[in-house]
Amino acid sequence: MKKILYALLAALLILSAVSLPALAAEKVVYVSYNKGNDANNGLSDAAPKKSLGAANGKGAFSVISGGGTLVISEKLYFGDNYTWSPSGATTITANYGGKNYIDASNPTNPASGVLKIKPGCVLTVAGDLTLDDMILFSEGSKDTIVVKSGATLTITDKVRTLSKSTYNFNIVVEAGGKAVIDGGTYSSITGDGEIKIADSVKVSKQSLIETNGAYAYISYNDGNDANDGLTAGTAKKGLGQPDGKGVVSLLAKGGTLVIPGKMYIGTSYTWNTKGKVTITANFGGKDYKNTEPANNPASGVLKMKPGSALTIASDLTLDDMILFQENNQCTIIVASGATFTVNENVIAMSNKDIFMKVVVAKGGKAVINGGIFDSVSGDGEIIVGPKAKILGEAGDETKEEPAKHETVVCYIDYEGGDNQNNGESAQTAVKTFGDGLFRRMVVGGTAVVSGRAVIGGTYTMPTLAKPLTFTSVYGGKDHRDNAECALVLSERATFTAASDVTLDDLRFCDEKGGATLKLTSGAVLTVTDTVAFDLPAGGTCNLVLEKGTIAVLSAAAQKAFTVSGEGKVISYVNGFSELLDGYVNANTVVELTIGSDTAYLNGKAHTLDAAPINRNNRTMLPVRFLANAFGVSDDGILWDGATRTATLKNASTSIVITIGAPSMTVNGNAVALDSPAIIEKNRTYLPVRAIANALGVSNDNIAWDGSTSTATLVK
């Protein structure tokens, strides 16, 4: 037995003295772009590979496709877009085996130990990759590293970044990917994935602004909108808009807004960012809240102009801060689709023993876990936690009826009105928009223009939860009997609406010309055929439609407005607004009128080579305009005179239709026609509905106005 044990021990000692490269050796390959050769084995700096290549190729990647270490003994050069996708974790370094290959004596073209990418190319990281103790060099333009879902890119603090110009690498982390950046300088680090950036890493300020989880500081008394807003000492002063100079421009995609001093909302304001924002006074290990003096807390506080409204149109959370009500009661309106959250650690204060009220529109949500509010009402979802205090709860004498919070009708008359009135009749009309009408119309409804309703200067309407209609006919009375009664835009005034607005049964006046109506945030403007226009001789009013907005205009309105922007114009017909839900995200809106050689594509007029005609109670049209509009290029329109056959082709659809045939083929399948193609006056006419259906336009998105013989098609 002892002999057996001694024999086993001896064998173990022998094995321990022998290296076992097949079991324990790390996969290592050397690369040198200028000195290497892919015919080399790549196992030493004396025989490096030249390029990476593929897993089954001759380059360096074939050696470490399962993971390992890539040693840059001179230069690693990506001459084209490349995807790094090993099956195991890999490290790229220029310091290995006791030898440091880094030579950065020429910082604009380092000699060795350097990774370079051809200007403008992309290195896609599809597996776990670490860059360590090497030079990352940007040459000539912004090179990009993209981290795919499931992959992790780690850049250690030993990595040096150099550049031939002012550019540095961009790093984009896709959703599901992860980047841990502990060293270097970059033009941008952005994306929806997980991003961890060490304090020592330098990234351009714009990149920090664009990165999800961005932060910014605001201080009304000490800030300045010329500041960068990235520290308490360089805080912004005002909120502004996402495309402006205020603090919201830094949080357009969401993040954290820090209040080191006071945040003041000086007029009715609509909060609308693309991502969720948290407002707090406790950030970066520092608590800025100061509740003294009690009648005007010093810092960490959000205040609003007395009587004003804050409309929340995107997700917003208040956390560990002071919410202060000053003098006349303010209102927080939660619009449809938005969630407003008040955390338990929010301190509510007031100098008049009144507190803010919250109105939640249908489709909106309020989660009130802290603070004190006069009332929380509305048609939306409301959740109130045990630590929140709502003064208007049942049995409390201070309770107000929800109707007072949700005014649905308000009269306005500049000459005869007064903003202290309740606006409930022509005799008690309010005077102006900001301090009058929209202090009462906090949700939406009907604004009755009973006199002159004047918009002067630049005015942005707050975002409302429901559509707003301006009219002069209400409650059985037509206020247009008064010759002065009109919705008036003063000289060069600009009225911006981010909510759906309808003009109906009123007179619209652009006093001097040059005034502007502007639609934003997906708003829909409807101008019915009961609106009369009073414009300077030969003049028009400007209508600016941002992308995603729609103007449904009567024939008179289309003549009265000069339209610009990327939104869409649709002709008004009774009941047409019911079809709008499907049009908001449409790319193409086509309007065709029987007998007219003018057609409209997204509101812009085009002259047809022949007008649409009606045959067999079906609208027929020369093929090219409709095909082009719905994705068929001129090269995809073919005519075979011998067989009298038209072919329409794009990347996804092939339509073959023969003159007089009872059916056509769509991607090889026969489709019956209720009106065959015809030739009249040497023109080929195709049935509009059938061709539109084949190109992806559903019947629900085809409208016919018999009074004007107009077909509207939307895709």
pLDDT for 209 equals 40
Task: Decide which of 1 and 262 is more confident.
Answer: 262
- Asked whether the beta carbons of 279 and 316 are under 8 A apart, the reply is yes
**Strand 129-132 to 90-93 pairing:** parallel
Computed on alpha carbons and rounded to an integer, the radius of gyration of the chain in Å comes to: 34
> First vs last Cα of the chain: how many Å apart?
88
Helix (H) or strand (E) holding 640: strand 637-640
Mean pLDDT (whole number) for 483-494: 90
pLDDT for 402 equals 37
- Asked whether the beta carbons of 453 and 489 are under 8 A apart, the reply is no
Contacts for 334 with CB less than 8 Å, ≥ 6 apart: 312, 340, 358, 359, 360, 361, 364, 365, 366, 378, 380, 465
Q: DSSP letter string over 192-228?
A: SSEEEE-TT-EE-HHHHHHSTTEEEEB-TTT--TTS-
pLDDT band at 392 (very low <50, low <70, confident <90, very high): low
Q: Rounded to the nearest 10 degrees, how much is the dihedral formed by the CA atoms of 139, 144, 145, 147?
A: 180
- Asked whether the beta carbons of 398 and 376 are under 8 A apart, the reply is no
Percent of the chain with pLDDT over 90: 33
Burial 99-134 (b: 16+ CB within 10 A, else e): eebbebeeeeebebbbbbbbeeebbbbbbbbbbbbb
Mean pLDDT (whole number) for 377-385: 87
Find tokens 């060069």 and name the residue. 492
Q: Is 30 exposed, middle or buried (0-12, 13-18, 19+ CB in 10 A)?
A: buried
pLDDT band at 470 (very low <50, low <70, confident <90, very high): very high
Beta-bridge partner residues of 639: 646
Beta-bridge partner residues of 194: 178
Whether the per-residue pLDDT at 577 is higher than 70: the answer is no
pLDDT for 407 equals 52
Determine phi and psi for 333, rounding to 5 degrees. -110, 125
How many CB atoms within 10 Å of residue 701?
17
pLDDT for 45 equals 93
Q: Tokens at residue 157, please?
A: 């603090």
Least confident segment among 180-194, 211-225, 513-527: 211-225
Sequence letter at residue 120: G
- Asked whether the beta carbons of 697 and 630 are under 8 A apart, the reply is yes
pTM exceeding 0.85: no
pLDDT for 207 equals 45
pLDDT for 574 equals 56
pLDDT band at 3 (very low <50, low <70, confident <90, very high): very low
Q: CA-to-CA distance for 572 and 606, rounded, in angstroms?
A: 19
143 SS3 class = coil
Q: CA-to-CA distance for 595 and 709, rounded, in angstroms?
A: 9
Q: What is the pLDDT of residues 27-77, one digit of tens each?
A: 999 999 999 999 999 999 999 999 998 878 889 998 998 899 999 999 999
Task: Decide which of 197 and 236 is more confident.
Answer: 236
Helix (H) or strand (E) holding 146: strand 144-147
pLDDT for 140 equals 67
21 SS3 class = helix
pLDDT for 398 equals 35
pLDDT for 395 equals 33
Q: What is the pLDDT of residues 263-279, one digit of tens each?
A: 998 777 888 888 889 99
Closest CA to 526 of 495, 557, 548: 557
Mean pLDDT (whole number) for 575-597: 64
pLDDT for 283 equals 80
pLDDT band at 586 (very low <50, low <70, confident <90, very high): low
Q: CA-to-CA distance for 403 and 384, rounded, in angstroms?
A: 20
Supply the mean pLDDT for the chain. Answer: 83
Mean pLDDT (whole number) for 296-303: 92
**Strand 262-265 to 702-705 pairing:** unpaired
Task: Decide which of 244 and 281 is more confident.
Answer: 281
Q: Tokens at residue 306, please?
A: 């007395």
Whether the per-residue pLDDT at 15 is higher than 70: the answer is no
Q: What is the pLDDT of residues 506-564, one digit of tens each?
A: 999 998 888 999 998 778 898 988 999 998 877 889 999 987 788 888 889 988 999 99
pLDDT band at 699 (very low <50, low <70, confident <90, very high): confident
Least confident segment among 76-85, 361-370, 613-622: 613-622
Dihedral over Cα of 566, 570, 575, 580: its sign = negative
pLDDT for 142 equals 67
- At CA 237, angle to CA 232 and CA 240, rounded to 5? 125
Task: Decide which of 142 and 504 is more confident.
Answer: 504
Beta-bridge partner residues of 515: none
pLDDT for 204 equals 62
Whether the per-residue pLDDT at 6 is higher than 80: the answer is no
pLDDT for 14 equals 40
Highest mean predicted confidence (pLDDT) among 354-363, 395-404, 578-587: 354-363
Q: CA-to-CA distance for 702 and 693, rounded, in angstroms?
A: 9
pLDDT for 403 equals 34
Instruction: Note the maximum CA span of the chain.
Output: 122
pLDDT for 488 equals 93
pLDDT band at 573 (very low <50, low <70, confident <90, very high): low
Task: Decide which of 540 and 16 is more confident.
Answer: 540
pLDDT for 475 equals 84
Mean pLDDT (whole number) for 431-448: 84
Share in percent of the chain as helix, strand, coil (round to 5): 10, 40, 50
Whether the per-residue pLDDT at 7 is higher than 80: the answer is no
Q: CA-to-CA distance for 196 and 234, rounded, in angstroms?
A: 24
Dihedral over Cα of 236, 237, 242, 243: its sign = negative
Contacts for 351 with CB less than 8 Å, ≥ 6 apart: 294, 295, 296, 324, 325, 326, 327
Cis before 402 (ω within 30): no
CA distances from residue 489 to 210, 492, 535, 546, 586 in whole angstroms, order as listed: 37, 8, 10, 20, 31
Q: CA-to-CA distance for 203 and 504, rounded, in angstroms?
A: 53
Q: How many CA atoms lie within 13 A of 126 on its CB side?
A: 10
Whether the per-residue pLDDT at 307 is higher than 80: the answer is no
- Asked whether the beta carbons of 514 and 542 are under 8 A apart, the reply is yes
Sequence letter at residue 453: A
Q: Tokens at residue 570, please?
A: 């649709």
Whether the per-residue pLDDT at 242 is higher than 80: the answer is no
